[in-house]
C-alpha cells in the first residue's frame, strides 16, 4: 500500500487460494510495511504452499500471519476484523463444476460467510463511531463476471442487471448484493470487484487451463466441453490481484467495478495455444458432453475502472506462455494436488464424459466450428 494509505493492516480471507495468495505474495513483496493476516479454511483448494515464497523471506514472513478458520465462523472472524484496517474477501468455493455436483458449500461460504464478515465490519464501524478505533474498516468483496450470466454479444456494464445461471454464480451474486446492501443500509465502506476468468501460476488443476496443461504433460486426454466454442475473457492472476489492491485504495465506497482482461478467446483457441507451447498434439483433445447450463460467453466493459486509471497489462500470449512454463517447472506443486480427493472428483466429473467422448478435429485458427472427427 502507498505511504498515504490508511490500510496498513489487512485481513485477507481465502489468502491460501489461487488469486488470494497472489495478492498476498505481491503485496508483501512491495516491502512497504503492510501487515497481512490470512484467514483461510484450507479447503481442498487452499494450500499453504501457495504462501511459501513469502514465508521463506524473513522480512515478509514477519509481516504475514496465517490463521486457519472459516469466514462463516463469527468467533474466528470477529477478533481478526477488530485488528484490521480493511478486509479483502477472496474466500469462496470457486469451481462451477463442483457447484453443479454439490452446491451446499457454495452457499455456506458465499452467502453466510460474506454475511458474517459484513456483520463483523458493522460491529467495528460502531466501535469507530464510539471512538474505540480510529476508522471503520473497508471491505473489498471479490466477485466475478459470472454474475452477469451468459452474454451473447456486447460487453456487460456494472449497471446491467445480473442474471447468474450456476449455483456458483448465484452464490457470488448473493454475496455481492449483501455487501452492497450493507453500504446502502448501514453506510459500510464496501467495494465490489468483478474479475473475469483468471489464469496463472498456482491455479488449482481442476480449472480449464491448468487441467489441460497438466493432463497434456502426462499425455492424458483433455476433456473439452461441447463444441469448445464458448468464449471467456482471460485475466492474468497478477493483473487481477493488482486490480483488487488498486480498488482497495482507490475504489469508491458502494461501487462495483468490472475487471476485464481484454483477452477474449474461444476455449478451442486457448487449448490450441497451450498445446503449441507444450509441443503436444491436438489429438489429446476429446469432445465430451457439455456442462449443464454452460454459459456461452462472458465479456465486460472496463470503462469504469479505466476511468480511475487502471487496466490489465498482460497479453494472453505472454501470460499463457509464463503459465505453461510455470506448470512444467513446478510439478512438485501440482502432482500432490492431483492425488487423494482428486481421484474421486475426477472420476465423478469426467469418467462417464470421457467414455462418451469423441476425438476433436483440429481447431480452426479463428475458433470456427470444427466437426468431431470420429470416435476413439
Ligand atoms: P480458490 O478456490 O483457488 O481459493 C479459494 C480459497 O478460499 C481457498 O484457499 C479456500 O481454502 C478458501 N476458502 C474457501 N471457503 C472458505 C471459508 N469458508 N472460510 C475461509 N476460507 C475459505 O479460488 P480463486 O480462484 O483464488 O478465487 C478467489 C476469489 O476470486 C473467489 O471469491 C472467486 O469467486 C473470485 N473470482 C475467481 C475467478 C477465477 O477465474 N478464478 C474470477 C473472478 C473472481
Ligand atoms: P473453468 O476454468 O471451469 O472456468 P469458468 O467455468 O469459471 O469459466 O472453465 C473455463 C471454460 O472451459 C468453460 O467454458 C468451461 C470449459 N471447460 C472445459 O471445456 N473442460 C473442462 O474440463 C473444464 C474444467 C472447463
DSSP-assigned letters across all residues of 179-204: HHHHHHHH--EEEEEEE--EE-TT--
- The per-residue pLDDT for range 150-198, each reduced to its tens digit, is 999 999 999 999 999 999 999 999 999 999 999 999 999 999 999 999 9
Catalytic residue among 40, 70, 145, 269: 145
Whether the predicted pLDDT of 332 surpasses 60 = yes
- The per-residue pLDDT for range 186-216, each reduced to its tens digit, is 999 999 999 999 999 999 999 999 999 999 9
- Tell which one of 12, 13, 19 to mutate to probe ligand 1, the residue whose CB is within 8 A of the most ligand atoms: 19
- The per-residue pLDDT for range 218-241, each reduced to its tens digit, is 999 999 999 999 999 999 999 999
Query: How high is the pLDDT of residue 215?
Result: 98
Lining residues, ligand 2, CB within 6 Å:
96-97, 197, 207-208, 211, 223-225, 230, 232, 267, 291
- Residue 130: how many other CB atoms lie within 10 Å: 7
> Mean pLDDT of all residues in the chain?
95
Give the confidence band of 5 by pLDDT, cuts at 50, 70, 90.
confident
Torsion sign, CA atoms 208, 209, 210, 216 = positive
- The per-residue pLDDT for range 344-371, each reduced to its tens digit, is 999 999 999 999 988 887 765 544 444 4
Proportion of the chain above pLDDT 90, given as a percent: 93
Least confident of 39-53, 253-267, 318-332, 356-370: 356-370
Q: Phi and psi at residue 200, in whole multiples of 5°? A: 150, -175
Query: How high is the pLDDT of residue 65?
Result: 98
- Indicate which atom in ligand 1 lies nearest the CA of residue 21: 26
Ligand in nearest proximity to the CA of 230 = 2
- Tell which one of 208, 209, 211, 213 to mutate to probe ligand 2, the residue whose CB is within 8 A of the most ligand atoms: 208
Q: Is position 298 annotated as part of the catalytic site?
A: no
Please classify residue 3 by burial: count the beta carbons closer than 10 Å to its beta carbon, then call 0-12 exposed, 13-18 middle and 19+ buried: exposed
Ligand in nearest proximity to the CA of 192 = 1
- Residue 281: how many other CB atoms lie within 10 Å: 11
- The per-residue pLDDT for range 78-123, each reduced to its tens digit, is 999 999 999 999 999 999 999 999 999 999 999 999 999 999 999 9
Question: Does residue 360 or residue 328 have the better pLDDT?
Answer: 328
Q: Is position 146 annotated as part of the catalytic site?
A: yes
CA 45, CA 48: separation in Å to the nearest integer? 10
Q: In angstroms, what is the span from residue 125 Cα to ligand 2's centroid?
A: 40
Query: How high is the pLDDT of residue 3?
Result: 62
Query: How high is the pLDDT of residue 372?
Result: 38
Contacts of 187 (CB under 8 A, 6+ apart): 125
**Residue 50 in contact with ligand 1 by CB distance below 6 A:** no
Span 44-57, average pLDDT:
98
Query: How high is the pLDDT of residue 358?
Result: 84
The order of strands in the sheet holding 9-13 is 64-68, 35-40, 9-13, 86-89, 138-144, 189-195, 256-259
What is the pTM assigned to this prediction?
0.96
- Tell which one of 94, 109, 263 to mutate to probe ligand 1, the residue whose CB is within 8 A of the most ligand atoms: 94
DSSP-assigned letters across all residues of 122-171: HHHHHHHHTTSSSSPPEEEEEEEGGGG---SSS-B-TTSPP---SHHHHH
Span 326-334, average pLDDT:
98
Query: How high is the pLDDT of residue 362?
Result: 72
Short-list 119, 109, 98, 82, CA closest to 14: 109
- The per-residue pLDDT for range 280-305, each reduced to its tens digit, is 999 999 999 999 999 999 999 999 99
Short-list 144, 78, 155, 59, CA closest to 110: 144
Contacts of 166 (CB under 8 A, 6+ apart): 96, 99, 100, 146, 293, 295
Q: In angstroms, what is the span from residue 267 Cα to ligand 2's centroid?
A: 8
Domains and CATH numbers, the chain: 9-360 (3.40.50.720)
Q: In angstroms, what is the span from residue 337 Cα to ligand 1's centroid?
A: 16
Query: How high is the pLDDT of residue 1?
Result: 66
- Indicate which atom in ligand 1 lies nearest the CA of residue 95: 2
**Residue 216 in contact with ligand 1 by CB distance below 6 A:** no
Grid coordinates representing 40 are 483461510
Amino acid at each position: 500500500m502507498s505511504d498515504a494509505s490508511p490500510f496498513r493492516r489487512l485481513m485477507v480471507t481465502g489468502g491460501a487460494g489461487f488469486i488470494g495468495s497472489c495478492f498476498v505474495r505481491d503485496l508483501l513483496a512491495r516491502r512497504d510495511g503492510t501487515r497481512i493476516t490470512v484467514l483461510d479454511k484450507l479447503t481442498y483448494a487452499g494450500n499453504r504452499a501457495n504462501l511459501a515464497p513469502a514465508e521463506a523471506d524473513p522480512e515478509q514472513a514477519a509481516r504475514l500471519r496465517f490463521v486457519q478458520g472459516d469466514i462463516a465462523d463469527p468467533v474466528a472472524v470477529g477478533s481478526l476484523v477488530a485488528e484490521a484496517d480493511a478486509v479483502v474477501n477472496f474466500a469462496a468455493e470457486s469451481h462451477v463444476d463442483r457447484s453443479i455436483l454439490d452446491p451446499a458449500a457454495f452457499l455456506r461460504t458465499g452467502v453466510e460467510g460474506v454475511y458474517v464478515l459484513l456483520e463483523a465490519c458493522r460491529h467495528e464501524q460502531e466501535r469507530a463511531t464510539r471512538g474505540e478505533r480510529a476508522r471503520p474498516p473497508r471491505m473489498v468483496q471479490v466477485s466475478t463476471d459470472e454474475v452477469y450470466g451468459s452474454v451473447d454479444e456486447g460487453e456487460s456494464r456494472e449497471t446491467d442487471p445480473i442474471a447468474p445461471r450456476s449455483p456458483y454464480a448465484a452464490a457470488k451474486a448473493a454475496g455481492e448484493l449483501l455487501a452492497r446492501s450493507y453500504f446502502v443500509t448501514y453506510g459500510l465502506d464496501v467495494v465490489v470487484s468483478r474479475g473475469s476468468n483468471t489464469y496463472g501460476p498456482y491455479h488449482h488443476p481442476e480449472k480449464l487451463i491448468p487441467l489441460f496443461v497438466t493432463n497434456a504433460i502426462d499425455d492424458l486426454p483433455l476433456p473439452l466441453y461441447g463444441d469448445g466454442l464458448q468464449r471467456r475473457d482471460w485475466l492474468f492472476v497478477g493483473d487481477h490481484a493488482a486490480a483488487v489492491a488498486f480498488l482497495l485504495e482507490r475504489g469508491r465506497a458502494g461501487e462495483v467495478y468490472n475487471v476485464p482482461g481484454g483477452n477474449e478467446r474461444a476455449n478451442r483457441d486457448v487449448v490450441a495455444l497451450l498445446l503449441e507451447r507444450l509441443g503436444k498434439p491436438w489429438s489429446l483433445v476429446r469432445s465430451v458432453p457439455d456442462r449443464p447450463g454452460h454459459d456461452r460467453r462472458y465479456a465486460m466493459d472496463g470503462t469504469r475502472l479505466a476511468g480511475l486509471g487502471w487496466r490489465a497489462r498482460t497479453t494472453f500470449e505472454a501470460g499463457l506462455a509464463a503459465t505453461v512454463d510455470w506448470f512444467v517447472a513446478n510439478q512438485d506443486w501440482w502432482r500432490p494436488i492431483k492425488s487423494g480427493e482428486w481421484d474421486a472428483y475426477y472420476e465423478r466429473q469426467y469418467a462417464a464424459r470421457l467414455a462418451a467422448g469423441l476425438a476433436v478435429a483440429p481447431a480452426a485458427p479463428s475458433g470456427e466450428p470444427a466437426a468431431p472427427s470420429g470416435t476413439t
